[in-house]
Structure 1
């Protein structure tokens, strides 16, 4: 009996000294591929926009030089050169506007990608917490199991496994709720970004339409002023001749 007691005591000491497995560190945050792609696209478009801005500046300098030269001489070639340079400025401005529009669209896409990546990260974090809880419960169960008596080992394992599964299910439910909330927030943010972008686009369209109407009115007024002297002259010619005084 004494030998059996010594063996049980040694077994318990060995079990107590057994090192516990270290918890695995959480994986480093990885950059979402969609966000990386959107950022790369935005960076490229911003470079293109910078190049277009430089072209506009160069075109303006050339136009200013050509206008100054045309003003100092009466040559038709100089005037044509000035007009061509002015047209080049207009074209460069149009290309720059198109580049700005692309940059704005790319920023909207990036905001959407970041929102969705945030939702995915929240879901992954919730899953990691569930896994960590499962591991924690497993470690605790192993420690408690070592102290349990052998006679009740099987019943204890079943009861503990059921209890742990209930806890895991509850944690999963909680994690799913958090993930849904994060997804809802992400969708709300995406909708806000889209509404802002749509509002900006509508404002730009209204400004362009207003500018076109103003230009049309000015052009019509100029044409009317030019045509009015001819009408007055023709009116004088058509009238009845004056009677000669006797």
Structure 2
């Protein structure tokens, strides 16, 4: 398990890690992702264990069926919210989850307005502005961008995320900050830099970053490093 992060005003975030679960290799051991090839029984047990470590009931969690879109839905009850890559709620008892294994988790909260949001911003989601759509949906539910705090979870860094030049160009078409050069001197994508720039243009200034690269951090799942592999979760909730 990872550490619980206090974002202030009764809002907390947590990023799970690889250890502490029951899944066998190559999903060892705290895999929280269904659809990875792991068994549903193991993932269910791991989700329950992770929730207990964080201090909330797993039955409070909202899970997305993530498909690398820019779609954002509003959750009014726990469980599966549907197919999307962003979810927003105004319910104080719900826990939002974003799954990843190289993509960027985006957790956002306007504690004054009582609005929470979570997104999964992979290369396609970053290119299409899922983080901005998340903020827009939060505003529609009563949030104010200047009052929003965002936590950006671990993701593959711009020095490691090598992509062909055409994919870099597609990703950076709307957000030039997405373009990076890898340590090998090749074209890359920096999702943290891109999403940070998108959020700032949307009026969000309070941005906290985990800073870890999933490919370089053995305690985290990395699709590029270990596929097939499991998924870690970034959780957001109010106490």
Q: TM-score, normalised by structure 1?
A: 0.18
Identify the structure with bigger relative contact order (alpha carbons < 8 Å, sequence gap 6+): 2
Q: TM-score, normalised by structure 2?
A: 0.18
